[in-house]
Amino acid sequence: MEIVKAVASEKNVPSNIQAVCHRMMLDDASKLRRVDCSGICLKSLDESHVDLVTRTWKFARNREVVGMIRNMARNFPSCCVLDAEGKPVSWILTYVSGAIGVLYTLPEHRGKGYAKVLISSMAKKFFGHGYPVFCFIEEENLVSYQLFKSMGFSEDPSYRATWSEFNF
């Protein structure tokens, strides 16, 4: 990243590192923590939910990112928990890379086990199709790191992913 930043600066290209992330994998279906899904209504997201997802996602600051979320909601696996009125209160999507992410629970619904149910549901779906199960967690997001660890994921300590923006 130092080299990339130095080259950008030499060329007068504005650059910004948005996030430095751990990569966490669930390498074996038997390691997936069992969670109780009873009484929880799950559904896939669709395009009508793009606004809700982008409003609550801290990286959705420009049109490109909104377009990325729209593509994810339209074309890739996703899952959400619905409330009694059928509105999503917690959700997870899949990036083009195949990583699961953009996990979010509305603040008033946190601590009810929804994120655990969503991770479990997506992991089972991916394992069922023979796809790898992995995600990227920002280094400072300890709640999320602990959450994925408790679900059976482990970190590759030699790996970091960064999200950077140039010419923004």
Ligand X SMILES: CC(C)(COP(=O)(O)OP(=O)(O)OC[C@H]1O[C@@H](n2cnc3c(N)ncnc32)[C@H](O)[C@@H]1OP(=O)(O)O)[C@@H](O)C(=O)NCCC(=O)NCCS
Tell the smallest beta-carbon distance from residue 121 to ligand X (Å). 12
CA separation (Å) from 157 to 23, 55, 150, 154? Answer: 8, 32, 17, 9
Angle 114-128/142-150 helices, nearest 10 degrees? 50
CB of 8: closest distance to ligand X in angstroms? 27
Q: Which is nearer to ligand X, 8 or 35 (CB)?
A: 35
Nearer to ligand X, 13 or 41 (CB): 41
**8 vs 65, beta carbon nearer ligand X:** 65
CB nearer to ligand X: give 50 or 92.
92
C-alpha dihedral sign at 23, 27, 31, 35: positive
Q: Which of 27, 26, 12, 78 is nearest to 49 (CA)?
A: 78
Chain residues that interact with ligand X, rule: CB under 6 A:
90, 101, 103-105, 110-116, 137, 141, 143-144, 146-147, 150
Q: Compute the distance between CA of residue 149 and CA of residue 152 in angstroms, rounded to an integer.
A: 5
The distance of closest approach from Cβ of residue 140 to ligand X in the complex, given in angstroms and rounded to an integer, is: 10
